[in-house]
Amino acid sequence: MFSVAVKDHIMIAHSFRGEVFGPAQKLHGATFVVTTEYKRPELNADGIVVDIGKAHGWLAEVLAPLRYQNLDDLPIFEGRNTTTEYLARHIHQELGKRLRGSFQGTLRVVLDESHIAWGSFEGPIG
């Protein structure tokens, strides 16, 4: 299996509902390092997994509406706990919309919350 990864980051604010989240129920900030890993069993006709420049551009485009936002205020997240795992799936889905026709394989999105904790979502594209 071949893979290529590109990274970016976002700074956001949000809060959670539910006792399980303890003090994170209050508004707090987070900085996520976002890694997208593109995987294919074989290289494409150009000998690559995906165009790295395009992959970085797609990621920046998907992250732009989230940067420096309080996610609690965004209608797309209304009624949702924007956990690390949930955000990883959201980013995967948004990238999937942009990748149609440009990439076939598996996409893994990892959000590093800190040096000791991360969440991810992985699934097929194309």
Q: For residue range 16-46, what is the model confidence (pLDDT) as tens digits?
A: 999 999 999 999 999 999 999 999 999 999 9
For 57-76, how does the pLDDT look when each residue is reduced to its tens digit (9 = 90+)? 999 999 999 999 999 999 99
Domains of the chain, by residue range, sit at 2-125
- Predicted confidence band at 101 (pLDDT cuts at 50, 70, 90)? confident
β-bridge mates for residue 112, sequence order = 33, 118
Angle, nearest 10°, between helix axes 84-99 and 52-63? 130
* Top-tier CATH class for 2-125: alpha beta
What's the whole-number average pLDDT of the chain?
Answer: 96
pTM over 0.75: yes
